[in-house]
Structure 1
Amino acid sequence: MRRVVLYFPKMADPARGVAVSKDLLPLSLLAIAALPDREGREVVLIDGNLTSESEAQRRVVEACEGALLFGTTGILGYQVADAFRCSRRVKAAHPDLPLFVGGWFASAAPRLQLETGLYDAVCIGQGEETFADLVAAVEAGADLQEVAGLALLRDGELVRTAERPIVGYEDLPNCPWHLLDIEPYRAAQLRGRSAREVERMPTPPGFEGRPFFGISYVSSFGCPEPCTFCCSPGLTHRRWKHLPAARLLDDLCDVTERWGVDAVRFYDANWGVDERRSRAFSEGLIERGVDVAWYCLMQAGSIVRYAPQTLDAMRDSGLYVVGVGGETGDAAMMRAIGKHTPTDANEQATWELDRRGITAWVTYIIGYPHEEERSMMRTLEECRRIAARCVHARPTVWPYRPIPGSALYPAALELGYRPPSSLEEWGTIGEYHLDETWPGKIPAHVARARRLFEHLTTLKLGLPRGRIGWWERRAQRRLESGDLRGARLEAKAFDLYQRLTGGR
């Protein structure tokens, strides 16, 4: 059987002087490689994040010599552009080789991918079984229209094949970890993490000032939340499929022990939907004596619903950070975006984590289509209350980003949003907190208030100077009192102080 070549694109633009954290493994491609690998097929997986762009493309082109097909993926951001450029190189070197693309962005915008003329088909949504059938169809020379879960371009028209049902993990094998050479990921992390690294893994307890080795892991697919700003509801139909706790423990404990892992970042969209699984997993780690720190994403509604004993077990098993999608501090806006977070749940959930010594990274969004200024200010005020009360919490506010495939995307277009017209342009969209992709939707005074809030919360945590002193205690008092008179002048004074003292 001829080999299958998979390319995981760069997640950060090297031209901006940044690289992505090396704990982020190419999990999406490992997942779709599992079935072909189980059948005995050779799978070559190349991660563009480990080398220069030119070297990654050279390796891919070389691996594609005599291959059956080439596949790539990508989420909104630089991966979209890097996948396109690599595919263009492959097509130029191997014009008869079938090329395919999948992932969140391609699933939401298949026509844009197909109109490049590079790809034979787009895999839509969950890709494991679709990709396995696709490999079989290419090898047999069968019509791709017989493969469910694809988007094709026929005579200029977008054609979707039969919808592919979402399957549970009982139908899927574990990730084929043997396809990865883990040493480059380990070596890069143990050399130390750069301040220019994006998506940086939070430092686990006990590793302050020294390197550690972490990996990412996915234990579920989908999310039951109907959030209108996200493309997941349209692609997953709000289904949530998960690895049972026992199977998750067996696989993860084997990997962490074999590789000597210090920390695990769960990359699930919504890790904590099922409290029974969360508790069984946590208690299982404790019973097995596994010493590993872990980090996951959860909803505030889940956290406040959990029994205290479950949260205690999660903490005792090594949970040290939880990413919480706060989304908004305005009740009417929460209803408008369709999220099921109860009133005050964001603050209550953050407090429950904080009093257990768990850091809550709470992310909010302002500037939704039709959102009023007072709604944005309520969000900032909720963030201030969290920052004032919770020692460990890191609430942050991002500008709204229109995402193709989300329910709010048409409204953004109607209100004047002009999306990029090419894959390379879509690839210029970077980190939420670094780029405002729809300028002018946040009033100037709200934008100033947001910047001031971010300054105060960062300062009170001691991040700019690496310690707590007069400036940091002053920021804490500002957040506690809500009195921001003169705070902008203080922020300018702190900036001057930093430059004069060299950040000491």
Structure 2
Amino acid sequence: MVEKKKVVVFLPKPHKHDYHHAMPLSVLSTTSLIDRSKFDVQVFSATDRYDFESRLLKHAKDAVCFSVSCLTGYQIQNAIDMIQKVRKANPKLPIIWGGWHASILPQQTLESKYADIVVIGQGERTFAELTERLASGKSLRGLQGIAYKDQNKKIVFNKPRPFEDPNNFPPLPVDLINVEDFIDDRDELRELVYITSQGCPFDCGFCAEPLVFKRMWKGLSAKRVGEDLQKLVKKHDVGFVTFSDDNFFVSEKRVQEICKEIIKRNLNIKWGRVNGRTRQLINMKKETWELMRKSGCADILVGAESGMQEGLDLINKMTSIEDTVKLIELAREYDIEITPSLMVGLPFPSYKQAKSEAERNAITEKELNAILDMLDQAYPTKDYFEVLLFVFTPYPGNPLFQKSIDLGFKPPKKLEEWAFFDIEQQNLPWISDELYGKVQQLMDFIFPYSCNKYLQRHAKGLKPIHWIFHKTALFRWKHRFFAFPIEHKLLMLFRNVRSILRR
């Protein structure tokens, strides 16, 4: 019997003090076409639910390659830390980078000493062919979808690989992981993450999606989704499924068919966190909304993005503030929550005309107040499930990246520097520390505690404290009062102490 060659793949943790609790979909999908009769595939995710590091290093000693998949930010640092340890165990092991960051900046990634090969874009077929070549010692010349360093350390770009229908790929190889390690809790239901499509046909000005998938989109068939969900739900007693698609609602017909599959198979689940665009959702038929409610749709994540029409136009969102409010009211009729995702600090042209820090701050203050005004209109009783707010993040490959550079943003020059480029703190020259503080206060304290369902999320034994926090948060929101954030600091202190005690 021929001994199988070993392939080790790793999904780094997203933040320094956070671990992955969701299924590592990105690395599972890229291993789906590997010939398991030839290869022993080992998949690891940075989780605190098992000792992944010692097991990973053990398998890396005799592997044919080590692959990491990263978003921009701390995942890069965690990947580099692991690569350094892997290279001690196996100094000649080829290091492969995939995922969003490497696909956006393959040249810069390969300029790092921590990268030998980059898989660009959709990786399923590319990674399978790559492992075959590495195992057999064949040249990487001509292998579509990669860039690599040749024997002379020269960076070589092969032809891109055409975007392929994911229905051509087998189901996620969940047998490579212990699924129970990635079951989370959502409203006392066992939650699992799943994905039904790849890509997005739209071109929002802040998004890197058009650079990676070239505005293409393909979705799994409804039957395939139904079959996958039935296996996962029944085997693991799942009560809530989170769909992590970049845009679930591209095809309304497919949405209807997926809902019918869930109903027909009597899955009895709730599902949500599903991503959609405002105008798409508003234009859907009543029949679709009814099917979504009947099949268990609980909430939809919507890129509302801005409370200013100027902001929506800047990012080419093709919608309006009125549309956002209308969508929230429409979804309420079907008992479906809308979670708006918003951002401040967009690179408006008016920043160029601002002559002082006070004038720049006035622009961001106007932007933030417009968001709160829109939320007041959409949620007069604060009956939302969640509100997400971020500071704008300039990513390479989209129109707003260059606009940000024009305003003084200095992007990192090498892979290692991007590790410290985080969605919560980018040091944009037109954004003050005060605004970052307000965003954190809103996300950590004011939004969660202003919600009329705030008690559902907190320990009943501390009800008097939570009641005080609730009233304080409502006052701060109403009066746009962010000074002396004592409650926010107390809350964060409590969370930090609790986190230390749980380690």
Aligned to 1:484: 479
Change (3 A) 1:40 1:143: closer
Change (3 A) 1:101 1:478: closer
Contact 1:354–1:390 (CA<8 Å) still a contact in 2? no
Change (3 A) 1:166 1:39: farther
Aligned amino acid, residue 127 of structure 2: F
Deviation of 1:381 (Å)? 2.2
* Structure 1: 4+ residue segments shifted above 6 A: 444-449, 493-499
Aligned amino acid, residue 407 of structure 1: P
Deviation of 1:30 (Å)? 0.8
Give the whole-Å Cα distance in 2 for the aligned partners of 1:244 and 1:37.
Answer: 24
Aligned to 1:442: 431
Change (3 A) 1:409 1:494: closer
Post-superposition Cα deviations, 1:272-331, rounded to whole Å, max 9, x if no partner, equal: 111111111112212221111211111112210111221122122111121111112222
Match of 2:156 among 141, 159, 167: 159
Aligned to 2:78: 82
Change (3 A) 1:45 1:492: closer
Is structure 2 residue 205 aligned with structure 1 residue 228? yes
Aligned to 1:25: 23
Is structure 2 residue 14 aligned with structure 1 residue 11? yes
Post-superposition Cα deviations, 1:312-354, rounded to whole Å, max 9, x if no partner, equal: 2212211112111111222232222122234522111122223
Give the whole-Å Cα distance in 2 for the aligned partners of 1:451 and 1:73.
Answer: 28
Change (3 A) 1:498 1:241: closer
Aligned to 1:34: 32
Structure 2 alignment gaps of length 5 or more: 351-362, 496-503
Aligned to 1:326: 304
Contact 1:74–1:103 (CA<8 Å) still a contact in 2? yes
> Superposed, which structure 2 residues align to 1:304-383 within 5 Å?
304-342=282-320, 344-370=322-348, 372=350, 373=363, 374-383=366-375
Aligned amino acid, residue 42 of structure 1: D
Contact 1:366–1:442 (CA<8 Å) still a contact in 2? no
Change (3 A) 1:497 1:12: closer
Contact 1:64–1:70 (CA<8 Å) still a contact in 2? yes
Stretch deviating more after TM superposition (452-461 or 442-451): 442-451
Contact 1:137–1:147 (CA<8 Å) still a contact in 2? no
Aligned to 1:182: 179
Give the whole-Å Cα distance in 2 for the aligned partners of 1:414 and 1:488.
Answer: 31
SS for the counterpart of 1:61 is: helix
Contact 1:282–1:317 (CA<8 Å) still a contact in 2? yes
Give the whole-Å Cα distance in 2 for the aligned partners of 1:367 and 1:492.
Answer: 22
Match of 2:454 among 460, 463, 470: 463
Give the whole-Å Cα distance in 1 for the aligned partners of 2:279 and 2:239.
Answer: 29
TM-score normalised by length of structure 1: 0.83
Deviation of 1:219 (Å)? 0.9
Deviation of 1:65 (Å)? 2.7
> Superposed, which structure 2 residues align to 1:116-195 within 5 Å?
116-153=112-149, 158-186=155-183, 189=184
Contact 2:449–2:473 (CA<8 Å) still a contact in 1? yes
> Superposed, which structure 2 residues align to 1:202-241 within 5 Å?
203-204=186-187, 207=188, 212-241=189-218
TM-score normalised by length of structure 2: 0.83
Structure 1 alignment gaps of length 5 or more: 190-200
Stretch deviating more after TM superposition (97-106 or 157-166): 157-166
Contact 2:35–2:128 (CA<8 Å) still a contact in 1? no
Aligned to 2:225: 248
Deviation of 1:498 (Å)? 8.5
Deviation of 1:409 (Å)? 1.9
Contact 2:95–2:114 (CA<8 Å) still a contact in 1? yes
SS for the counterpart of 2:163 is: coil
> Superposed, which structure 2 residues align to 1:54-93 within 5 Å?
55-93=51-89
Identical amino acids, percent of aligned pairs: 25
Q: State how many pairs are aligned.
A: 466
Aligned to 1:258: 235
Give the whole-Å Cα distance in 2 for the aligned partners of 1:69 and 1:261.
Answer: 34
SS for the counterpart of 2:130 is: helix
Aligned amino acid, residue 395 of structure 2: I
Aligned amino acid, residue 184 of structure 1: D
Post-superposition Cα deviations, 1:382-437, rounded to whole Å, max 9, x if no partner, equal: 2332232662253333111122333322332232223345544433344x4xx231
Post-superposition Cα deviations, 1:238-274, rounded to whole Å, max 9, x if no partner, equal: 1111101111101111111111112111111111111
> Superposed, which structure 2 residues align to 1:96-107 within 5 Å?
96-107=92-103
Change (3 A) 1:445 1:25: closer
Give the whole-Å Cα distance in 1 for the aligned partners of 2:476 and 2:254.
Answer: 41
Change (3 A) 1:66 1:448: closer
Post-superposition Cα deviations, 1:10-36, rounded to whole Å, max 9, x if no partner, equal: 22313xxx434x2x1111111111111
